[in-house]
Structure 1
Amino acid sequence: MPRAYWINTFTAIHDTEKLAAYVELAGPAMLAGGGRFLARGEPAAVLEGGEVPRVTVVEFPSVDAAVAAYHSPAYQRALEALGDGATREIRIVNGVE
């Protein structure tokens, strides 16, 4: 079964305090769900598309594990903390074997 990658792109940050609360809760929730952070932070270079303030890439053992981590009570608490503090897009993609 191929690994899966959770790609979280923040398209806008509206409240840095809410974002900080989210980060504090979301990281442990993703790790507890089997995730491993591969990259996070501001893009180092933008070659196509518009500017985005933050991107996170998390590796999971499977799509099912990534989706379960998203729906976990711990991650849902992180989402509640974030609230309207950011606009973002989340994609789960299969890794290449």
Structure 2
Amino acid sequence: MTKGYWINTFTAVHDDDKLKAYIELAGPAIREAGGKFLSRGNVVHAFEGGTLGRTTLIEFASTDAAVAAYSSPGYQAALEALGDGAEREVRILEALPDA
């Protein structure tokens, strides 16, 4: 089975309290769904592009597992808590076959 990677980037934060509520719910929901946080925080260096927001890289056993985590009730509760508190980009990628 090929691993899947979830990349989440916050492009704008409008409400710090809503973001905090999201983080408190999202982390446990993602770990419960089998996600392993590999990196998270603010961008250290950006050479191209304009997105400098908080970025998270999460590893899953597969892309299906990552999609299931996103669709899970726990993560959906996190998204509800975030509401309009931030703008994000979320991507799920498949690992290379030899990775």
Name the structure 2 match of 1:52.
52
Name the structure 2 match of 1:63.
63
Paired residues of 1:2 and 1:94 also in contact (CA < 8 A)? yes
Partner letter of residue 75 of structure 1? Y
The residue matched to 1:43 in structure 2 has which SS? coil
Alignment partner of 1:23 is 2:23: yes
The equivalences for 1:77-88 within 5 A come to: 77-88=77-88
The alignment covers a number of residue pairs equal to: 97
Residue by residue, what CA displacement relative to the aligned partner does 1:25-61 show, whole Å, maximum 9, x if unpaired? 0000000110000010100111110142210000000
Name the structure 2 match of 1:7.
7
Deviation at 1:13, TM superposition (A): 0.7
Q: What TM-score, normalized to structure 2?
A: 0.95
Matches of 1:84 and 1:70, distance apart in 2: 18
What is the RMSD computed on CA atoms of the aligned residues? 0.7
Matches of 2:92 and 2:6, distance apart in 1: 5
Q: Which runs of 5+ in 1 are unaligned?
A: none
